[in-house]
């Protein structure tokens, strides 16, 4: 399938089958994350792959936005530099964007392998850090649930291109954009 088909087919999955994710599939997903761009190529990201039932249960308990019994999850976070501007950079836009790039690659790499996933931003970071025993300088930014999809929901309502795209100036409609998307 082309990347366009994968992008279109990807849904946020919140209902999973009780069937493990193969290590090979997980590694392909993590490798897709690894190859994402990052600000200044700094790659300050760390990924904790969780496939142990007990740890998964605890991660879920930390995450109100985690739906479904995913058989795997990936905690994605930023490793802050010690000292210097460490604390201040925790919520830096660049670091968070990097995680966004990596996570989208992961979502597409999951979909391409017939797996389902969901990016989850609603979680208690302190709770997650405790569960995975992360050091002080790690900031969890995203929880990624992963597994074999049970129910695949329809595409949620999406704004049309003409609602979200302007040409050369904010508010300037582009006549090439149909109204039908």
Please give the residues from 16 up to 35 whose contact with a copy of itself meets the rule CB under 8 A.
23, 27-28, 30-32, 34-35
Contact 108, 32 (CB under 8 A): yes
Number of neighbours of residue 136 by Cβ within 10 angstroms: 9
In angstroms, rounded to a whole number, what is the distance separating the alpha carbons of residues 158 and 53? 35
Q: Does 104 bind a copy of itself (CB under 8 A)?
A: yes
Using CB under 8 A, which residues numbered 142 to 181 contact a copy of itself?
Answer: 142, 156-159, 161, 164-171, 174, 176-177, 181
Q: Which residues pair with 25 in a beta bridge?
A: none
Provide the minimum distance between the beta carbon of 74 and a copy of itself in the complex, in angstroms, as a whole number.
Answer: 9
Q: Which residues pair with 12 in a beta bridge?
A: 117
Q: Does 67 bind a copy of itself (CB under 8 A)?
A: no
C-beta closer to a copy of itself: residue 19 or 91: 91
In angstroms, rounded to a whole number, what is the distance separating the alpha carbons of residues 75 and 60? 11
Cα distances from 56 to residues 48, 115, 120, 145, in angstroms, run: 11, 17, 14, 10
Q: Does 39 bind a copy of itself (CB under 8 A)?
A: yes
Using CB under 8 A, which residues numbered 73 to 92 contact a copy of itself?
Answer: 91
Provide the minimum distance between the beta carbon of 96 and a copy of itself in the complex, in angstroms, as a whole number.
Answer: 4
């Amino acid at each position: 399938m082309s990347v366009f088909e994968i992008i279109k087919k990807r849904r946020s999955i919140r209902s999973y089958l009780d069937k493990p994710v193969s290590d090979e599939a997980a590694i392909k997903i993590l490798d897709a994350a690894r190859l994402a761009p990052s600000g200044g190529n700094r790659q300050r990201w760390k990924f904790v792959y969780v496939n142990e039932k007990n740890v998964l249960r605890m991660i879920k308990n930390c995450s109100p936005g985690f739906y479904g019994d995913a058989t795997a999850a990936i905690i994605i976070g930023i490793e802050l530099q010690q000292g210097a501007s460490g604390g201040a950079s925790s919520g830096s836009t660049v670091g968070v964007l990097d995680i966004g790039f990596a996570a989208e690659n992961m979502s597409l790499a999951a979909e391409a392998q017939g797996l389902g996933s969901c990016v989850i931003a609603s979680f208690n970071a302190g709770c997650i850090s405790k569960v995975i025993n992360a050091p002080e300088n790690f900031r969890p930014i995203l929880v990624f649930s992963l597994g074999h999809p049970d129910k695949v929901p329809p595409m949620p309502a999406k704004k049309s291109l003409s609602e979200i795209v302007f040409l050369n100036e904010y508010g300037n409609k582009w006549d090439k954009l149909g109204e039908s998307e």
